[in-house]
Amino acid sequence: MTNPNEYENLTGKNQLAWMLISLGTVVILSLLLPFPIGFLASIVVLFSLNIIRAEVMIRKAGMGGIRGYYKSFFSFESGQGRGLGKSSLYKPLTFSCMNCGREHRKVACPNCGSKAVRVS
């Protein structure tokens, strides 16, 4: 997609499709179920569809879905605290020695002791 107008048209069609799906399910639920139950079911369906839509959009953006998006901010699985976990957004620094070429995570090379390193 080289033309920016194509992206805007695609985004508008996508939003229109999600709006029609939401409206259709709410109308069908309100016709099939009595008032209090249909109203509550409609609210649940609207929230669920919104979560599904967000999941699809975040996956298309390449962040791995909602779990991957929030894992980039808080990673309690690795025990390293805020924003330093295993995610596609935050990768730990790796150093490569300019003398021997070994990759490591320390400032000085553990192999030859040189501090001439390249950060990647």
Establish if 48 belongs to a structural domain.
yes
Domain that holds residue 97: 90-120
Q: What is the pLDDT of residue 83?
A: 45
* Residue 109 region by backbone torsions, left for phi larger than 0, else alpha for psi between -120 and 50, else beta: beta
- State which residues of the chain have pLDDT below 70: 1-12, 68-90
Query: Do 10 and 59 fall into the same domain?
Result: yes
Q: What is the pLDDT of residue 113?
A: 85
Q: What is the pLDDT of residue 1?
A: 44
What single-letter amino acid sits at 63? M
Query: Do 10 and 46 fall into the same domain?
Result: yes
Query: How is 49-98 classified by DSSP, letter by letter?
Result: HHHHHHHHHHHHTTS-HHHHHHHTTEETTTT-EET-SS-SS-----EEET
Query: Do 15 and 55 fall into the same domain?
Result: yes
- Residue 48 Cα distances to 6, 52, 54, angstroms: 29, 6, 10
Query: Do 40 and 95 fall into the same domain?
Result: no
Establish if 66 belongs to a structural domain.
yes
Tell me how many domains the chain contains. 2
Sequence-ordered list of residues with C-beta below 8 angstroms from that of 15, at least 6 positions apart, any chain? none
Asked whether the whole model's pTM tops 0.85, one would answer: no
Q: In this structure, what DSSP letter does residue 110 have?
A: T
Residue 40 token pair: 């509550």
Query: Do 21 and 54 fall into the same domain?
Result: yes
Sequence-ordered list of residues with C-beta below 8 angstroms from that of 58, at least 6 positions apart, any chain? 64, 65, 66, 68, 69
Establish if 79 belongs to a structural domain.
no
Query: Do 95 and 67 fall into the same domain?
Result: no
Query: Do 58 and 105 fall into the same domain?
Result: no
What are the backbone dihedrals phi and psi of residue 93, each rounded to the nearest 5 degrees, phi first? -70, 140
